[in-house]
Structure formats: C-alpha cells, structure tokens
Amino acid sequence: MLLIYSSKSTNRLQYICKFIFEEVLSTSYTITTDDVNFRLYTGSKINYSDIYFNNTFQIIPHALLFETIIQSQAVAVSRSEENPIFFTIANSDYPFDIFAAVFYCITRYEEYLLHTEDEYGRFAHENSLAFKEDFLHLPLVDLWLKDFKATLLNQFSELIFQPKSFSFTPTYDIDIAWSYKEKGLIRNIGGFLKSPSLERVSVLLTGNNDPYDSYEVMNDLHQKYNLKPLYFFLVASKNGLHDKNILPTNAAMQKLISQHAAKYEIGLHPSWQSYNDANILKEEKNTLEDISQKNIQTSRQHYIKLTLPETYQNLISTGITNDYSMGYGSINGFRASSASSFNWYDLSAEKITSLRIHPFCFMDANCYYEEKLSLDESFKELMKYYNICKEINGPLVTIFHNNFLGTDKKFKGWKELYFQFISQLQQ
C-alpha cells in the first residue's frame, strides 16, 4: 500500500488522490497527517509537504489543494520531456505538483473565473489554458499519470497497479429525428417555401426513406461489431430557435424512443430551454422516462450548453448520475485535459459529488460546422483521437448525429467515414 503524508488532509486532496490512485492507477493508498507513523512506515510512501523526511518520494505542494476559495492562479506552462507541465516546484522529486495540476484540469477551475462567452453563452474554448498552450488535443492528465506511474514503479518496485484497457463508446445525439416526416403540415409548408425540395415532396407523398433516418443502418453496424451505443434524445415539449425536435407527444417519436430503449442505453438531451430552469429539466426527464419506461440517469447538454456549477447542480437535483457534456461544442479536443471519467468536484461548495463526468473528444458537427474540415481531414482528426486514447489505454467517447449518417446530400460521405472508422477499430 502507498502511504501519502500531508500536513493537512483537505477535501481537494482527498478527491484528487482518489481519482489518481484509485480510479486511474488502480492501486491502494492511504492519506495520513501523522508524521510519526509516516516516518516509521517502511513501505512505499509519498511526502506531499515541504517538510523533509528521509527515504521518501517528495512532492512539494502548490497551495491550490489547501485553499478553500476560487481565485486566479498563476499558471506558467513549461515542458518536461514532450508534455506541457505547470505548477512546477523547485527541489522536488517530481518536476511539478501533479496533484494540484490534475485538480486544476479536471475540476475546470478556470471556468469558475471571469471569462469571455461565445455566441451561445458558453465558456469560449479560446479562453482555456489548453487552447492557449496548444495541448487541447492531448489527454494531458492521462499522459501525466502514465509517466507518474512509471516514476513510482522505478522508485517503489513493490507497488502494484492494475492494468487499464482501451474502450470505445459510440454516442448519438438525436436532435431532429426526421428531416421531413412527422413535422406536421405547417412546418413542412414553411420548410418547402423557405427551401423548395422535390425530395421533401417525395418523402411525404410516397413514403420514401427520410434523409435523417439512419436508425436501421446504425443498428446493423452495432450488431455487426457488437458495439454498445448510447443515444441521447431531445424531448422538449415545445420548439424554439435551438430546439427543433419532433415533439414527444408524436406517436412515431415515442415509438422511436421505445425501440431504442429496448435495445440500448438511452439518455436525456436537455433542451436549450431547460438550460437554466430545473423545473423544465425535470419535466423532460419525466417525459423520457414515461415514454421509455426506464429510469433515466444519463444526460448530455444540447449544444453543449454547460455552465459551472449551475448546470451540474441542476442535473444532480434532477437525479442525473452520469453526464457526457464534458467537451466543447466549438472545437474537438479534451476540455478537461482527460479522456478518463471522474466524479464532479463542486468548487462552489468544496465537495465531491456523485455526478460522474464522461468526457468526449470528437463530434462530427465540430468538424463540419466549426472547424470546417474536409472529409479526409475529419477522418484524420477522428483517427488522431482514437490513437491517443489507445496509447493511454483510456476511453474514447465520440458524438455523431443521425442526420450526418443518413442520406442527406449535405452530409454526403459522412456515413462512409464513420463506417471506415468503425472497421478500423476491429483491426
């Protein structure tokens, strides 16, 4: 067992040690504030203090984990080997305070500070340290911990770490289930007048396949490769500028949800309207539960409309236990600098919560609408994230939309791109 000494055992320190040692490195540990017992302990031990002890591995701490306020931190990024680091400390056995640095990243500490919002009122990715210092594309926390593990094994050969393995979770946001079908006469007339289309007429009059209907194609893919997908359904009770879903009162929509709930895990895609209204959020959760006949505990924010701490506090109050919104709706990459999932730490309340955060790093819409990449460039980007997650033996979570995988000419080639990617996973 690894013994960790600190002059004070704070909530922040307990949280980050649990994440690092129990969840990522999978080894047993104990935190102690008893310096006498720490001196006498003959096993593997880390001294997380500025007090000197003989025969220990010392990490001199940054102040962050001993504070109880949220304030601007002096973050100076340098390089150690190939990876960026910060919170460097002189005369320490490790080049930086990895505990404080990991905490800063996965709590999204910088998002609690004064920042610029993007056009949708979200934390603009340009504000982030990862973007400014060009490591947004890296699961930096996981890379740090991979190196930290090797360092500890070199110091303490008796330590045992359970191996981790790569995993892939394909997730889908069902924002608009069909392009033409089930939208009603008024919406279809309005759509036709705005953009006349023979395809719309053909689909509505002859029953031809709707261009957004990719559900059977996706189902066949999942069955063929034994994938375990996760579907998020938008079930706003009324449409708005950003909520254009087929209403949940629609019989075909209810059937679609029920069919997926019978085969796969489904989650709530909280609407734009529910973003700052816990009552609407609860209504939408109840609606999805009534239709699916399942207890819904998983969610991902529509438009990745996420503000800390309010969004996560609302989710917890509604009974959500797993959220998949940790990423940007404007660029691909690792928003929390980690591919690994973690429990959310509420900095505003200084407490560990039960809400499990599952980061994603790739979304089709980011490539198409925001980064404006070609199909080839998008595929290379997707493979880049696949390869880096394989390197760290971590989870890869991707987001695709049903309309990208259908027959809409606007998204020509995306279905083939996705199929090519899935086939690569099997090699």
DSSP state string for 218-276: HHHHHHHHT---EEEE---SS--SS--PPPTT-HHHHHHHHHHHHHSEEEE---GGGTT
The DSSP 8-state label assigned to residue 64 in this structure reads G
Q: Which two tokens stand for residue 89?
A: 């400390």
Q: Residue 208 has what pLDDT?
A: 75
Q: Residue 192 has what pLDDT?
A: 40
Antiparallel, parallel or unpaired: β 342-346 and 351-357: antiparallel
Q: Residue 184 has what pLDDT?
A: 55
**What distance in Å separates the CA atoms of residue 334 and residue 339, rounded to the nearest whole number?**
7
Could you list the beta-strand ranges (E) of 308-410.
322-323, 342-346, 351-357, 362-363, 395-401
**What distance in Å separates the CA atoms of residue 112 and residue 308, rounded to the nearest whole number?**
7
**What distance in Å separates the CA atoms of residue 102 and residue 16, rounded to the nearest whole number?**
7
- On the 0-12 / 13-18 / 19+ scale of CB atoms within 10 A, 219 is middle
**What distance in Å separates the CA atoms of residue 348 and residue 70, rounded to the nearest whole number?**
8
**What distance in Å separates the CA atoms of residue 422 and residue 182, rounded to the nearest whole number?**
31
**What's the count of helices (H) and strands (E) in the chain, helices before strands?**
14, 15
pTM above 0.75, yes or no: yes
Whole-number Cα distances in Å, 373 to 24, 201, 344, 380, 404: 33, 31, 32, 10, 14
**What distance in Å separates the CA atoms of residue 362 and residue 395, rounded to the nearest whole number?**
12
Q: Are the C-beta atoms of 210 and 141 separated by less than 8 Å?
A: no
**What distance in Å separates the CA atoms of residue 285 and residue 319, rounded to the nearest whole number?**
9
Q: Residue 198 has what pLDDT?
A: 56
- On the 0-12 / 13-18 / 19+ scale of CB atoms within 10 A, 301 is buried
Q: Residue 120 has what pLDDT?
A: 96
**What distance in Å separates the CA atoms of residue 366 and residue 325, rounded to the nearest whole number?**
14
**What distance in Å separates the CA atoms of residue 15 and residue 346, rounded to the nearest whole number?**
11
What is the maximum span of the chain, computed from C-alpha positions, in angstroms?
82
Per-residue pLDDT of the chain (427 residues; tens, 9 = 90+): 999 999 999 999 999 999 999 999 999 999 999 999 999 999 999 999 999 999 899 999 999 999 999 999 999 999 877 899 999 999 999 999 999 999 999 999 999 999 999 999 999 999 999 999 999 999 999 999 999 999 999 999 999 999 999 999 999 999 999 998 866 544 544 454 455 555 654 555 565 789 999 999 999 999 999 999 999 999 999 999 999 999 999 999 999 999 999 999 999 999 999 999 999 999 999 999 999 999 999 999 999 999 999 999 999 999 999 999 999 999 999 999 999 999 999 999 999 999 999 999 999 999 999 999 999 999 999 999 999 999 999 999 999 999 999 999 999 999 999 999 999 987 6
